[in-house]
Structure 1
Amino acid sequence: MTADRRELTRLEQTIDRAAHRWLARRPESGARAVAVECAVFLLKQAWACVFGALLLVAIVAARLWYPDDAALARNDALTIAAVLIQVGMLVFRLESGRELWVIVLFHVTGTVMELFKTDVGSWAYEAEGVLRIGAVPLFSGFMYAAVGSYMVRVYRLHELRFTRYPRVWLTTLGAAAIYVNFFSHHFIVDLRWVLLALVVLLWGRTIMHFRVWRARLRAPLLAVFAGVALFIWIAENVATWGGAWLYPHQQGGWELVSPQKLIAWFLLMIISVVMVTWVYPPRAPDPSAEERAERAGRPGRPA
C-alpha cells in the first residue's frame, strides 16, 4: 500500500506490511512493474470505496430481493444497513476517529440539502418507513458520508500532496458560494457557470501528487475532480436504478440520469475537497523525495 503508516488504521498497517513484503520482490521496471503499479492503484481505489461500495450493494440487493410486503419498510432496512456498515467500519478499524469527523460533516451537509431538494421536487424518495425526516429517509445522508469516506481514505492511501494549492480560506468561500447556489438557483439566477469559472481560477494551476507503489505521479487537480465526478455519476445511475431515489424524468420508468448532473457532482466535489482540507490541511510534496526520484531517473521508491 505504501502510505504513511502514521496515517493508517491498525488493520491497514497490517495490510501495508504484508504488501511491502510481497511487492519488494517485484521488478522495478518493465511491463511487469507497470502491471504492479496498475494493480496497486486499483486495489487502493477499491479499498477507499469500501463504504460506498457496501452501501451500493445494499441498495441493489434491496431492489432485487427485498420483499414488497415486508413488515420493515425497505427504506428503513437500508437505513439500518447503512448504520451497521458505519459501525463495522469503526469496529474493524477501517476508519479512524479523525475521519469520522469529516464523514459527520458530509452527513449533515448532505441531509440539509436533501431536505430542501426533495421539498422543491428536484428528486423524490418512496414515501415509506419511519426512519426519516420529512420526505427524506435517513439512509440518504450516508450516501454523502460515503463520498466523504472515499475522500479521506484516498488522501492517506495515496499520500496526496499539492503544488500551488490556493489558500484554504479562499477555497472555503468558494465552496460556501457553491453550496448556497444549490439552494438559491431555485429562486434567483443560476450561477453555476460563474462558479465553474471561479473554480478554474482557484484550482486551475494546482497539481496533485500521489504515490501508488514505487511510482510517484502527478495530475492536474481539476482533471481528478472531473474523473471522480464521472465515477459518482455512474454510481448514481446504479442507485436510481435500484430505487434509492428518483428524478422527475424517471417517475414513469428508469432512464439514464442526465449528463448535466456531472456539473453538479463536479461542484459538489469542490465542497467535498474543501471539507477534507479542514481536517487534513493540504501539504506540499516532499522536495527531497522528488529530487531522489529525478536523480534516479525512475519513480521514487518509498522511504
Structure 2
Amino acid sequence: MKTPLSFCTGLALGTLALSAAAESADLRVYTYDSFVSEWGPGPQIESAFEAQCDCDLEFIAVEDGVSILNRLRIEREGNKADVILGIDDALIEETRATSLIAPHALDLSGLKAELNWHDSDFVPFDYGYFAFIYDSTRVGQPVDSLRALIESDASVIYQDPRTSTPGQGLMLWVKSVYGDDAAAAWTRLASHTVTVTKGWWEAYSLFLEGDADYVLSYSTSPAYHQVAEGKNQYRAAAFSEGHVAQIEVGAITRNAQDPELARRFLQFLISAEAQAIIPVTNWMLPVVDDVELPDAFDSLIRPERIGFTPQQVEQSRRDWLREWRSAASR
C-alpha cells in the first residue's frame, strides 16, 4: 500500500472489472488498491503464483486495510473472498471476532525472530513503521518528535483512522504518546491539518503535489523515491518517543472455495520468491531473513517500536475513534 499512485484515473473501473472477473476465479483475494496497481506487488505476485499453481488468481481491491474489514462485516458469509490480504496486526482481533477467518495450519518458524509471530489464523507478509515524510528541499529542520510536530505550525496531511490503517496507526501513536491528553493533541493537530483523506494514496499524492510539509506514511517510503525515481530529498522524520509498527497479514476465509489453494497462496507469500518482490513494490520490510534489498534500505531510520497489543486495540479502538472524531472536528 506504499507505492505513490500518481495516475489513479480508471482505478475504480478497474476494481469493478476485477470483481466481475473474480466470480469465476479459482482464488479470489480481497486486498487494497495500491497492492494491485501496476506499480504494486500484485501483478508480479499474481504471475509468479499462477505459474506454480496452474490456477486463476484474481484480486478484488478496496481502498485500504480497514476497508477490507469493513467489507467483510457488511458482506458476512456472502463475501467473495478466499483470502484477505492487507489487514494489519492492529485489526486482527476485530477481524477474528467476525468468525469469518479459518486457521492457516502453516509452519511459520521461518519468519524473522523479531516479529515473534505465533498466530494460528493470520500470516504476516511485510512490516514497517509509520512515519511522517517530508521534502528536505522544503523543510530545512524537521521535527524530531510527535509532540514537536503536533505543537508546530507545519502543514500536515494524514488519513482517516476509520478507513485507513495508517490513519489508525497515527491514532495509536497519539494515544501511546499522549495518553489521557490525546483529545487535546488531536485538537491542536487539527489547527494545522490540511486535510484528512480516506486512504493512503490520496494523502501521499497530495503531499507530492506540494500541498503539505508532512504526510503520514512509512519509514520505508524514502526508499521508493531513491530506487524508483533517483530522488533523495524525501525523508522520514525520526521521532524521539518511538514509532508505531505495522505488520500486514493475510488470512483464509471460512467460506473459501478451495482452502488448500488459499493455504498454498499464503505459503507462497512468505517464500523467498515472493518476499524478494514485496519490498521493492510494496516498499515495506520482508518478514523473512536473507532477502537482498537495495542499498537505499540501509539509509532508512531505525525506529524504536512503541504502541499497543492487538488485544488492547480491540478493547479500546471504538473509544479512541470517538475521541479522535470529537476532538479533530473542533
TM-score by length of 2: 0.25
Q: Which has the higher contact order (CA 8 A, sep 6+)?
A: 2
Please give the TM-score of this superposition, normalised by the length of structure 1. 0.27
